[in-house]
Structure 1
């Protein structure tokens, strides 16, 4: 059973364009990200990215996740792990 979904891009019929208003901007970013993360698109673009571009993408997404999701949300919504595994503190 798949746990990741990309339903929005399949169902959205509104305007895809940036700069008109906040709701359209949000919808456009969501459409772009879901299309960008499509397996076929990723297979084509990833080998063409430089190491710096890969790092930039990883750092940007990681930073956004850190700044805008609480730990529980990060585990539930991004990792799809509703029960985060708490590790025992490392003893020095």
Structure 2
């Protein structure tokens, strides 16, 4: 059974760009994150990312998760436990 989904990027037909409004900024962030995490793109990038790149990505994402999710939310929504 699949536990992860990326439906937003598949269905979104709005404006993709940053700086127009808070709503379009959030849509764009979601769109970029879902596109960025595509398996084929990650297979290509994993060979090219430097140690510093990987550390920066990990630090940004883990910091956001710590700041914005409670521990139960982290386990439910991120770890999918």
Separation in structure 1 between the aligned mates of residue 74 and residue 8 of structure 2, nearest angstrom? 20
Instruction: Extract structure 1 runs of 4+ deviating beyond 2 A.
Output: none
Residue correspondence of structure 1 range 1-92 to structure 2 within 5 A: 1-81=1-81
Separation in structure 2 between the aligned mates of residue 43 and residue 31 of structure 1, nearest angstrom? 19
Q: TM-score scaled to structure 2, two decimals?
A: 0.98
**RMSD between superposed Cα atoms in Å:** 0.5
Separation in structure 2 between the aligned mates of residue 26 and residue 40 of structure 1, nearest angstrom? 24
Aligned length: 81
Could you list the runs of 5+ residues in structure 2 that have no partner in the other structure? Answer: none
Separation in structure 2 between the aligned mates of residue 73 and residue 21 of structure 1, nearest angstrom? 28
Q: TM-score scaled to structure 1, two decimals?
A: 0.87
Separation in structure 1 between the aligned mates of residue 46 and residue 30 of structure 2, nearest angstrom? 20
Per chain length, whose mean CA-contact separation is higher, i.e. which structure has more relative contact order (CA < 8 Å, sep 6+)?
Answer: 2
Could you list the runs of 5+ residues in structure 1 that have no partner in the other structure? Answer: 82-92
- From the two aligned structures, give the one with the greater helix fraction: 2
* Higher Rg of the two aligned structures: 1
